[in-house]
């Protein structure tokens, strides 16, 4: 069996794209799969995948330097035919593995240079400079890898010139894992959100919308599942609707999705930041898969799917009144909501699913002789 090793210094071991999709697909296709991770939870074997933990560092500086070196040492020790890494900080590790004669794939989850422009931990005055430096670094180094995998079609415009072996593998849902959450009998005025929670991802505007909606639908309730930073939340601004939502924090996808069973809407309100406007939000397709009508941002990428197929409503992500109006329409029109949910579910089954994307992943490995 061909030995495959996935590497990440920043992601959790059960990251949906890395573990539940790519590693599991490769293991199911008769490969011996290892995952080197740095989350501090120890070694384990799960679903025929060997997980090796090099330990979690307390700060970003140590992660970028010490952790990446530890990942490299473990990667060499495993002596695999092909290595597949997922973080830009591991580019130098990928290059070292190439020097050892290994085949290496870089999986690009985000347009990193654009993402740098939105990183709040980087002083604003430095973001453009760091972004440009990173672009130059990518231009020189990425051509040396055996293949690049990108998570969005929009990244192709830039990355296709950096490596001739480029494939897009979208982060679409695994339908079989979501079947138990599908329902057409949703009885409560509840709304569901899963993913990172921040103002760039619409939390502040959603709270304003909730204040408007509470006047007409007093029992409205929003489940927010996902990570958030305590100090970004303005408790004074939340007092008016504190009984109408809950922040649950991080939890596994299948556990988080239990809160969707009574919900009538799936939310994904991203602000018009360039990295967002050019990328699919995976949660939209997860909502569609389980039969939830979607209320999301009116980016062209989303409108081409949601509006054209009548799976939900696209709104101005900075207009709380428009968001409130869309939510109210779905909650008060159950037959329309049912139609939207069924349209979305059918579309995911036919097109936007991991089964279709998995084939592209397997094919790039076969092309590399692995």
Residues 93 and 160 placed together within one structural domain of the fold: yes
List phi, psi (to 5°) of 269.
-105, 90
- Please, are residues 263 and 283 in contact by the beta-carbon 8 Å criterion? no
What percent of the chain is modeled with pLDDT above 70?
97
Asked if 208 and 220 sit in the same domain, the reply is: yes
**30/49 Cα distance (integer angstroms):** 11
pLDDT at 236: 54
Q: How confident is the model at residue 337 (pLDDT cuts 50, 70, 90)?
A: very high
**DSSP result, 48-59:** TEEEEE----SS
Mean pLDDT of 308-324: 97
Tokens representing 118 are 């939105």
Can you give the CATH number for the domain in which 78 is found?
3.40.50.2000
Q: Is 42 within 8 Å of 20 (Cβ atoms)? A: no
Using CB atoms within 10 A of its CB, is residue 277 exposed (0-12), middle (13-18) or buried (19+)?
A: middle
**Are 216 and 361 members of one domain?**
no
Domains identified in the chain, total number: 2
- Say which residue, 134 or 167, is predicted with more confidence: 167
Query: Which pLDDT score, from 0 to 100, does residue 157 have?
Result: 86
Same domain, 153 and 210: no
Same domain, 142 and 201: no
Q: Do 288 and 168 have their domain in common?
A: no
Shared domain for 231 and 164, answered yes or no, is: no
Residues 204 and 326 in one domain: yes
pLDDT value of residue 90: 97
| Per-residue pLDDT at 85 exceeds 80 | yes
What is the per-residue pLDDT for 199? 86
**184-205 per-position pLDDT tens digit:** 677 789 999 998 888 888 899 9
Q: pLDDT tens digit string along 285-294?
A: 999 999 999 9
Q: Please tell me the distance from the alpha carbon of residue 12 to that of residue 253, in angstroms, as a whole number.
A: 13
| Same domain assignment for residues 146 and 221 | no
128-137, 302-311, 333-342: lowest mean pLDDT where?
128-137
**What's the pLDDT score for residue 234?**
59
pLDDT digits (tens, 9 = 90+) for 127-147: 998 889 989 999 999 999 999
The pLDDT value given to residue 232: 56
Give the range of the structural domain holding residue 45, as residue numbers without chain letter: 3-172+354-367
The residue that leads in pLDDT, 362 or 111, is: 362
Distance from C-alpha of 114 to C-alpha of 141, rounded to nearest angstrom: 18
Same domain, 196 and 232: yes
Please determine, for residue 297, whether its predicted confidence score (pLDDT) is greater than 90: yes
Predicted pLDDT at 288: 96
Tell me the per-residue pLDDT of 271-280, one tens digit each, with 9 for 90 and over: 998 778 888 8
Cβ contact 108:152 at 8 Å: no
pTM for the model stands at 0.85
Phi, psi of 332 (to 5 degrees): -105, 5
Are residues 168 and 186 located together in one domain of the fold? no
Indicate the pLDDT class of residue 270, thresholds 50, 70 and 90: very high
Mean pLDDT of the chain: 91
Q: Looking at the structure, do residues 102 and 68 belong to the same domain, yes or no? A: yes
Average pLDDT over residues 248-272: 90
Mean pLDDT of the region 18-25: 96
**256 vs 103, residue with greater confidence:** 103
Q: Which of 71-85, 192-206, 337-351 has the lowest mean pLDDT?
A: 192-206
Residue 235 has pLDDT above 70, yes or no: no
Residue 108 has pLDDT above 90, yes or no: yes
Contact call for residues 23 and 6 (beta carbons, < 8 A):
yes
């Amino acid at each position: 069996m061909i030995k495959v090793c996935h590497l990440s210094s920043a992601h959790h071991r059960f990251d949906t794209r890395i573990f539940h999709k790519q590693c599991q697909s490769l293991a199911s296709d008769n490969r011996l799969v290892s995952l080197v991770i740095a989350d501090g939870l120890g070694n384990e074997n799960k679903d025929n995948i060997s997980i090796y933990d090099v330990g979690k560092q307390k700060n970003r500086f140590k992660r970028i330097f010490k952790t990446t070196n530890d990942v490299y040492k473990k990667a060499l020790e495993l002596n695999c035919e092909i290595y597949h890494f997922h973080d830009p900080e591991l580019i130098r590790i990928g290059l070292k593995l190439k020097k050892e004669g290994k085949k290496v794939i870089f999986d690009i989850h985000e347009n990193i240079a654009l993402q740098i422009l939105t990183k709040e931990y980087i002083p604003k005055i430095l973001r453009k400079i760091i972004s440009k430096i990173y672009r130059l670094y990518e231009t020189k180094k990425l051509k040396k890898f055996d293949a690049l995998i990108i998570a969005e079609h929009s990244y192709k415009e830039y990355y296709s010139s950096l490596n001739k072996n480029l494939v897009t593998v979208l982060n679409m849902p695994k339908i079989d894992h979501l079947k138990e959450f599908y329902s057409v009998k949703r009885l409560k005025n509840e709304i569901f959100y899963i993913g990172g929670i921040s103002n760039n991802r619409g939390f502040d505007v959603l709270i304003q919308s909730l204040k408007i909606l509470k006047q007409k639908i007093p029992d409205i309730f929003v489940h927010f599942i996902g990570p958030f930073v305590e100090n970004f939340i303005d408790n004074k601004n939340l007092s008016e609707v504190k009984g109408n939502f809950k922040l649950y924090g991080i939890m596994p996808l299948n556990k988080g999705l239990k809160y969707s069973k009574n919900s009538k809407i799936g939310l994904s309100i991203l602000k018009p930041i360039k990295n967002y406007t050019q990328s699919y939000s995976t949660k939209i397709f997860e909502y569609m898969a389980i039969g939830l009508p979607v209320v999301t941002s009116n980016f062209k990428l989303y409108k081409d799917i949601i509006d054209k197929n009548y799976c939900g409503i696209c709104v101005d992500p900075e207009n709380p009144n428009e968001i409130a109006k869309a939510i109210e329409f779905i909650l008060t029109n159950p037959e329309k909501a049912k139609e939207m949910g069924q349209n979305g579910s059918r579309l995911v089954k036919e097109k936007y699913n991991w089964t279709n994307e998995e084939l592209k992943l397997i094919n790039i490995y076969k092309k590399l002789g692995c």
